[in-house]
């Protein structure tokens, strides 16, 4: 009987904690973003269970035409509505950033900017960039989008030896993302 009471008390405490988290997530001005696995039969991986702020997905063997990996992070956005000129200015710093990164990589390795700039993805302002990383084992492409989704900043990075596949997988995960926003009153 005591054991049953302990489970009831533990269950009530869990509901209290979940209720508090639920109330916080629904506060005005908050945005809840969930990165969903678009095809569990094709992609192995998971999101961080506790914070749901990161996720790592790898294409299963023989499910993609080439190796592929997608990672996602969610953080607080510095603003709900970024200024387009400020985003363009930030995107304009990418070539300089790539140049600095090249100074730190070893001999025989190089990072090349394929493209970068601003875009609107799913109706949200974003900074997009495609990089080619050359190393001893050949080339690898990074296709990254940093989206400003109301009060959340979502970065989705896709890696593959194929530029088209990296970009296609980035877009696939962006499409599968769930967004719930509670506007400021």
Average pLDDT in the 160-176 region? 97
For residue 9, the model assigns a pLDDT of 35
Average pLDDT in the 87-94 region? 96
For residue 14, the model assigns a pLDDT of 35
Average pLDDT in the 55-79 region? 94
When the pLDDT of each residue in the chain is averaged and rounded to a whole number, the result is 84
pLDDT tens digit string along 4-31? 433 333 333 333 333 333 444 446 778 8
Q: Among the listed ranges 29-33, 72-76, 99-103, 172-176, which one has the minimum average pLDDT value?
A: 29-33
Provide the whole-model pTM: 0.80
Q: Which spans in the chain are helix H?
A: 2-25, 84-92, 94-104, 163-176
For residue 22, the model assigns a pLDDT of 40
Task: Report the C-alpha gap between 114 and 50 in whole angstroms.
Answer: 35
CATH number of 31-182: 3.40.1000.10
For residue 30, the model assigns a pLDDT of 85
For residue 166, the model assigns a pLDDT of 98
Contact (Cβ atoms closer than 8 angstroms) between residue 58 and residue 44: yes
């Amino acid at each position: 009987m005591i054991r049953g009471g302990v489970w009831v008390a533990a269950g009530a405490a869990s509901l209290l904690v979940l209720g508090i988290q639920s109330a916080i997530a629904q506060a005005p001005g908050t945005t809840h973003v969930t990165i969903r696995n678009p095809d569990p039969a094709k992609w192995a991986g998971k999101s961080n269970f506790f914070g749901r702020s990161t996720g790592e997905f790898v294409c299963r063997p023989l499910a993609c035409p080439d190796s592929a990996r997608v990672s996602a992070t969610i953080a607080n956005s510095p603003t709900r509505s970024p200024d387009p000129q400020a985003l363009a200015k930030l995107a304009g710093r990418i070539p300089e950033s790539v140049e600095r990164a090249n100074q730190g990589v070893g001999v025989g390795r190089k990072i090349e900017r394929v493209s970068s700039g601003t875009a609107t993805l799913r109706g949200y302002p974003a900074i997009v960039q495609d990089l080619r990383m050359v190393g001893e084992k050949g080339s690898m492409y990074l296709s990254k989008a940093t989206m400003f989704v109301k009060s959340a900043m979502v970065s989705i990075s896709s890696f593959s030896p194929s530029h088209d596949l990296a970009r296609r997988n980035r877009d696939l995960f962006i499409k599968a993302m769930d967004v719930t926003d509670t506007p400021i009153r």
